[in-house]
Structure 1
C-alpha cells in the first residue's frame, strides 16, 4: 500500500514539475512574442516571427524589433530570473516566507548607492556600477536581517525591519534628488523600475553575471536544502551552515545588485515567484531555483507587456509600479490565507517598550516646561529667516504696538509656523494612537499605508486638476488616507485586527499607493517641481486656511483621544489580558486607529508626507514617563510640534533664500535615530 501511494506521489510530483517548467516555458514564449508586438507602434505577430527568423536590414519593423524591443524583453527576462532566484535563496537563508530583495532593503540600498555614486563619484559609477550597487545592497540586507533579530526574527519583524531600512535609505535618496536635481533627474524614471533599453549594452553587461550566479546557486542546491532542516541537524550531517548562509546571501545580493544597476529597483518578484513554485510542492533547490527564475522572468515580462498594452494618454507605467500593483495583492493573500504564526511568540513580540528604562520624569512640570519651550521656539522661529526680525520688534508687531514694517512678513511667517506646530502635534499624537492600536512601538501612519494613501490622493489633484489645488488638496489627501486605512481595516477585520496582520497589510497597501505616486511623478515630470517637494513634507507657503482646517481637526479629535486614553492603555497588555479586563479589544483598537488615521491624514493634507516624526516623539515620551496614553498624548503632541517648528526654522534659514523641506530635515534626523531604536529593540530581546 505504501509502495503504491509513494508511486502515485512520485507520478504526481513529476506532472507538477512538467507543469511548472513546461507550462512556464510555453507561457513565457507567448509573452515574449506579445512583448515584441506592443509599443509605440504595434507590430503584427507574423512580422515579429518573420523578423526573428529572417531579419532584413531594409525593413523598419525588423530593425525596431532587434535594436529596441528585443533588448528590453531580454533584460526583463534576466531581471525577473535574478530577482526571483534571489528571493528563493533569501527565504531559505532566513527561514522567513516574507524575505526577498525588496523586503530586506537590498533594492533600496543598491538604488541609494547608485544615486550617491552619480553625485559624488560619477567616474566610478560609470566604470564599476555593480560594485557600488552590491555594496549598498549588502549593507542594507545585513542591517535589516540583524535588526530584525537574525535567525529568531518573525516574518512581521523582518518585513518591518526591511521597510524601515528602506525608509531610511529612501530619506537620503530623496535628499540627493532634491539637492542635485540636474545630476539625478534621469535616475528618477530608472528608480521607478524601467526596462527601457536603447541598445544591447545592458543585456551584454548583465547576462554573464546572472547566468553564472544562477549556475552557482543550482550547483550548491544540496547545501541550501540542508538549511531547511534544524540547524543542529544540519551541523550533525557535516554541513557548514554559516558558510552556506554567507554564500547564499552573497549570491542573492549580487543578483539583485546587477538588476538594480541596469533597470532600477523592482519589487515583489522575489516574493511572488518562489511562493508560486513552492505551492506546487517543489522544495529541492536544484529545481526550486531554476523554476523560480523561470516564473520570475514570466512575471516581469507579463508586467512589462501589460504596461505597454494598456498605455494611457501620458504613456506607459514603469514596470516597477506594475509589479507593485500585481505583487501587493499577493502579499495580502499570503498574509490572510497562508501565514499562521506571523507574530511569533515569546517576550518582546508585542511589548510597547523597545529597550531602556523610563526616566520617570514628573508629568506636570515636564508639560509646563515643554509648553513654554514650544512658545519660545515659535517666537524665535518667527524672528529668523531670509530677513531677521529683532525679538523686541517682533513682540511689538505681534501686539500691534511696535514697528509695523514687519507686519507683512509676519503674516507670511506666523501662519506657516503655527501650521508646522499643528502638523507636528497631529503626527505625534497619531503615532501614539496607532502604536497603541497595533501594539508596536515601531509603527506609525506611514507603516499602515495612511501616509502614502494621503499622498496619492493629493497627487491626483496636483496632476489632474492643478487649478483646484488650494481648495481640493486637503480633501483629497484626507480621502486618500482614509481609503488606504479602510482597506487595511476591512482586510484585517477577519483576523480580529491582529497587530501583526495590520502592519503587513499596511505595507502591502502602502506599496500600491506608492506605486501610483511614482507613476504620476514620472509621467507628469514632477521630480523637480514643488509637487515633489510637497511629497517630502513642506510648510512653504502655508497660510491661515491650512491653520484653521488643521486646528478644527485637533480641536475635535484630540479631546476624544484623551477621553478614550484609559481604554487604549489596556491594549498594551495583549488581547487575552485586555479581554479579561472587560475591554472590547477589536472595537477599542478600531477607535484608536480611526482617530490616528484622521489626525495623520489631516496633517498630510496641510504639511505633506512627513515620516519618522510619529515614531520618534512617542518613543521619546515613553522614555521620559513610561507607558501612559493620556500623558503621552499631551507630551508627544508638544514634542512633535516642537520638532517640526525647529525643522521648519532650520529649513528656511540654513541655506536662505533656498529652502530645505522640513520633512526632509525630520527624515535626516529621524533616520539614524530610528536605526538606534531598532538596535535597542534587538538588544532588549
Structure 2
C-alpha cells in the first residue's frame, strides 16, 4: 500500500503542477489580458490555438504513455519505447515520403500514411524477435540503429528538396502548435478508440511476465499477443506523429515511473502510464509556452523531451546491473591462416583498391545520361573528381584505423566510432563551434572535434566501468549519445541559423563539401602520423587485454595508456568527421571484414581494414554520383546503407548462432 500511495502522491503533485501551469498559460493568453494586442486576433489565438494545444498535449501524452506501456510488456524490457524501437521514426519517414509524392493528402490520410511507416518498423522488430528469440538489449540496439538510419534518409530528402521540406524540420522536432480544433478532435476520438482495445489486452499482457513456455501453458498465444500489441502501438504512434511530429522520452519514462514506484498491478500500471504520460507532456509544453513570453524563439516540445530522455535512458542502463559478465569471443581467436595465404589476400586487396582508385572516379554520365569518362566531357570536372577521390581515401583510412583501435581496445567486434558515440561527440563539438564562432579556423575545428570525441568516448567508458564493460551496454551508451546528438542537431536545424544547409550536407557525408577546404595535403600528413602512432600501440593493447594487474606488472600505466588511446581514436575520428561527416558505418565494416579474412594482428588488420575502407568509400562515391542522376546522393548515406544492412545481418546471425 505504501508504494501505491507514493504513486498516487506523485500523480497528485504532478497534476497540481500541470493545472497551475495550464492556468498560467490560459491567464496570459486569455482575451483582454494584454491591452496592447488586438482583441479579435487574441481571441482567435486563444480559442483556436492555446486551448487546442493544451488538449493536444494531454491526448498525445496518453497515447505515448500507453504505447510505451504495451511495448515494455510485450518485450519485457524497460528500455523499450516507440522512439528506441524506431516506430516513431518509421511513421515520420512515411509522412516525409507522403509530403514528397502525395502532397495533396488530407489530414486523416496522414494518419494512415504514418501508420504504414510505423507498421513497417514494427514488422522489422517482430521479425527480429522471432529470428533471434530475444527481446533484450540487442533489440533496443537494433531499434536505435534503425532510428539513426531513418534519420539519415530524412536528411537526404531534405538536402535534395530544401525548399519543399524545410518546414518538415520544425514539424519533425515535435511542435504542438495548433490553429484549429479539428486535429485535436480527430486525435481525441482515435485515442478513445484505442483505450478499450488496450484494456481487453491486459490479461494477456500480464502473462508476458512469465517465461514464454509458462505463458503458453496458461493458454496465451504469445505470438498473436505480441503482434496485436505492436499493431496497437503502431496506430497510437501514427496518431501522435501525424498530429504533432515525433515526441521522444514520454513513452519511455511514463511506464517506468509507474513501475519504479512499486505499482505491480497491471491495470494500475496501465492507468498510471497514461496519466504520467499526459502530465509529463503537458508540464513540458506549458512551461515552454510560458517561456515564449520572455524568449520568443523558444525550442520545440519534442526536442526538449528528447534531450530529457537521454539521461533517463542512461540511468536505466546503469540501473540494469548484471551479476555476471557477458562473455565475448576474443577478436584474435579463430582459424589461423598460413602467412603465404594472408600475403596473397593482402596483395589482392591492394590491387583492388588501386583498380578502384584508377577507374571508378573517371566514370560519369553525360548530359544525355549515357555512361562516359570524365575527361571526355570537361577536363575541369576531373579536378573536382580528384579532390572527391582524395577525400574518400582520407576518410576511409582515418575511420578504419579508429574502428580497428576501438574494437581491439574494447575486445568487442561490434564496436565502432559510430556506435560508441565518438562521431556524435565530434559532431557536438563542431555544432557548438559553428553556433559560437561565425568563421572558425581549421585549428578550431580540429580542437573542438577532438575534444568532443574524447569526452564522449571517456564518458562511455566511465559509465560502463561498473557494468564490467559488457559489450551490448557499451554500444547502448554510445547510441544514447547518438540520440543526444540527433536531438541537438534537430534543435540547431530548426533554429534557422545560416549554416543549416552546410550542416545538412555535412551530416549526410558529402565528399564534395568538406568543412576544411584546400588543406588535403596537411590532413593526409596528419593522418599518416596518427596511423604510425596507431601501429605503435600493438604492445600496450595486448597488455591491456590481459588485464590491468598484468599490465602494471610489465611497467604499463593502464589509465594513462587508455587516455592516450582515447586521444588517438578521437583525433582519427575527428579528421574523418571533418572530412565527410558523422554518418557512416565504415568504421564497423572494414575491421570486421579484415578480421574475417584472417588478418588478426593489429598492423596487418589496420592495413587491410584501411584498404577495404578505401574500396567501400570509392564504390559508395560512384553510386552516390549515379544512383539518382542528375542528382547526387552524399557518399556517407550510401555507406550508411551498406553498414546498416551489414550490422543487421551480423547481429541476427550472431544471436541465431
Under TM normalisation by the shorter chain, which class is it? 0.7 to 0.9
CA contact (8 A) 1:209 1:258 kept: yes
Q: Which moved more, 1:84-93 or 1:299-308?
A: 299-308
Partner of 2:20: 30
Task: Using the TM superposition, give the Cα deviation of residue 603 of structure 1 relative to its aligned residue in structure 2, in angstroms.
Answer: 0.7
Query: Are 2:328 and 1:350 equivalent residues in the alignment?
Result: yes
5 Å-filtered alignment, 1:208-607, equals 208-310=189-291, 315-336=297-318, 338-341=319-322, 345=326, 350-351=328-329, 362-381=341-360, 383-384=362-363, 406=379, 412-468=384-440, 472-524=444-496, 529-542=501-514, 545-565=518-538, 568=541, 593-607=566-580
Separation (CA, whole Å) in 2 of partners of 1:292 and 1:518: 27
1:455-501 Cα offsets, whole Å, 9 max, x none, are 23223344443433666434433333233333333433454544344
1:391-432 Cα offsets, whole Å, 9 max, x none, are 9989xxxxxxxxxx95x6665443442222011111122222
SS at match of 1:128: helix
Partner of 1:195: 176
CA contact (8 A) 1:350 1:574 kept: no
1:487-524 Cα offsets, whole Å, 9 max, x none, are 33343345454434432222222222221111111112
Separation (CA, whole Å) in 1 of partners of 2:94 and 2:25: 31
Q: Which moved more, 1:516-525 or 1:182-191?
A: 182-191
Task: Using the TM superposition, give the Cα deviation of residue 287 of structure 1 relative to its aligned residue in structure 2, in angstroms.
Answer: 0.9
Check 1:409–1:241 CA distance in 2 against 1; reply closer, same or farther (3 A cut): closer
Of residues 145, 164, 168, the one that matches 1:164 is 145
Task: Using the TM superposition, give the Cα deviation of residue 324 of structure 1 relative to its aligned residue in structure 2, in angstroms.
Answer: 1.8
1:14-72 Cα offsets, whole Å, 9 max, x none, are 522431443332232223234546xxxx5489959xxxxxxxx9665443222111222
Check 1:581–1:121 CA distance in 2 against 1; reply closer, same or farther (3 A cut): farther
1:594-621 Cα offsets, whole Å, 9 max, x none, are 4333311221012222311112222222
1:237-269 Cα offsets, whole Å, 9 max, x none, are 343433333332222222112111211122221
TM-score (norm 1): 0.83
Separation (CA, whole Å) in 1 of partners of 2:402 and 2:231: 40
Partner of 2:62: 81
Partner of 1:634: 607
Separation (CA, whole Å) in 2 of partners of 1:342 and 1:146: 30
Check 1:653–1:169 CA distance in 2 against 1; reply closer, same or farther (3 A cut): closer
CA contact (8 A) 1:144 1:165 kept: no
Separation (CA, whole Å) in 1 of partners of 2:554 and 2:472: 22
CA contact (8 A) 1:181 1:528 kept: no
Task: Using the TM superposition, give the Cα deviation of residue 190 of structure 1 relative to its aligned residue in structure 2, in angstroms.
Answer: 1.6
1:310-340 Cα offsets, whole Å, 9 max, x none, are 458671112222112211111222222x211
CA contact (8 A) 2:68 2:82 kept: yes
Separation (CA, whole Å) in 2 of partners of 1:462 and 1:657: 31
Task: Using the TM superposition, give the Cα deviation of residue 107 of structure 1 relative to its aligned residue in structure 2, in angstroms.
Answer: 0.9
**Structural RMSD (CA):** 3.9
Separation (CA, whole Å) in 1 of partners of 2:291 and 2:267: 37
Separation (CA, whole Å) in 1 of partners of 2:457 and 2:212: 40
1:200-240 Cα offsets, whole Å, 9 max, x none, are 22212211122221333234333322221233333333434
CA contact (8 A) 1:477 1:601 kept: yes
TM-score (norm 2): 0.86
CA contact (8 A) 2:322 2:467 kept: no
Check 1:85–1:440 CA distance in 2 against 1; reply closer, same or farther (3 A cut): farther
SS at match of 1:164: helix
Separation (CA, whole Å) in 2 of partners of 1:127 and 1:358: 60
Check 1:214–1:418 CA distance in 2 against 1; reply closer, same or farther (3 A cut): same
Check 1:357–1:212 CA distance in 2 against 1; reply closer, same or farther (3 A cut): farther
Partner of 2:116: 135
Check 1:662–1:313 CA distance in 2 against 1; reply closer, same or farther (3 A cut): farther
Partner of 1:662: 635
1:86-144 Cα offsets, whole Å, 9 max, x none, are 11111111111111111111111111111122223445575522222223222213323
Partner of 1:116: 97
Check 1:268–1:379 CA distance in 2 against 1; reply closer, same or farther (3 A cut): same
CA contact (8 A) 2:30 2:46 kept: no
Separation (CA, whole Å) in 2 of partners of 1:255 and 1:368: 55
CA contact (8 A) 2:77 2:136 kept: yes
Separation (CA, whole Å) in 2 of partners of 1:414 and 1:555: 19
CA contact (8 A) 1:171 1:668 kept: no
Separation (CA, whole Å) in 1 of partners of 2:537 and 2:78: 37
Separation (CA, whole Å) in 2 of partners of 1:576 and 1:28: 54
Unaligned runs of 5+ in 2: none
Check 1:410–1:499 CA distance in 2 against 1; reply closer, same or farther (3 A cut): same
SS at match of 1:101: coil
Q: Which moved more, 1:353-362 or 1:119-128?
A: 353-362
Check 1:575–1:173 CA distance in 2 against 1; reply closer, same or farther (3 A cut): farther
